[in-house]
Amino acid sequence: MKMMPNDLMTIRQMCDAFDVTPRTLRFYEAKELLFPQRDGTRRLFTRRDRARLTLILRGKRFGFSLEDIRQILDLYDRDGSNHAQTIRTYELAQQRLAQMEAQRAELDLAIADLKAELDAGEAMIATLRRAAE
């Protein structure tokens, strides 16, 4: 067991902690979502990186694209106490929420339609079964 200075984690430790692949972490770094320090060539992820990764993964669950997430993260980075930016993020989230609810409405419709088709199909299958006797 090698000890990392308290709040620094290797790529593997990050992968285990967050259940992601190394490729993903490097990808996020390339996309400027994370900014790990270096020990020579090796990445060392800070507490800040972990906080950001937590937000990234949460954002993904909400269906935000990585680009959306990057922008939101950057807003807070530039000025964590700026009201306008907090409000902007809030608005983005609201928009996304509206999208998600629209999406659910469509999905509900499709489900209802498909169920109707299935009922018809079931009836047809029953008919076929009777005819087969």
Partner DNA sequence: AGAGTGCTTTACGTTAACGTCAGTGTAACG
Partner DNA sequence: CGTTACACTGACGTTAACGTAAAGCACTCT
Q: Which residues bind a second copy (CB under 8 A)?
A: 58, 61-63, 83, 86-87, 89-90, 93-94, 96-97, 100-101, 103-104, 107-108, 110-111, 113-115, 117-118, 121-122, 124-125, 128-129, 132
94 binds, among a second copy, DNA, none (CB under 5 to 8 A by kind): a second copy
Number of CB atoms found within 10 A of residue 57's CB: 14
**Closer by beta carbon to DNA, 10 or else 86:** 10
23 binds, among DNA, a second copy, none (CB under 5 to 8 A by kind): DNA
Which residues contact DNA (rule: CB under 7 A)?
10-12, 21-24, 26-27, 40-43, 60, 65-67
Residue 60 C-beta: closest distance to DNA, Å: 6
- The CA distance from 57 to 69, in Å, is 9
Q: What's the chain's length in residues?
A: 133
Non-local CB neighbours of 23 within 8 Å, separated by 6+ positions: none
Q: Is 54 exposed, middle or buried (0-12, 13-18, 19+ CB in 10 A)?
A: exposed
- The CA distance from 24 to 20, in Å, is 6
Number of CB atoms found within 10 A of residue 29's CB: 16
111 binds, among a second copy, DNA, none (CB under 5 to 8 A by kind): a second copy
Radius of gyration in angstroms for the set of CA atoms belonging to the chain, rounded to a whole number: 24
Residue 8 C-beta: closest distance to DNA, Å: 12
**Closer by beta carbon to DNA, 63 or else 121:** 63
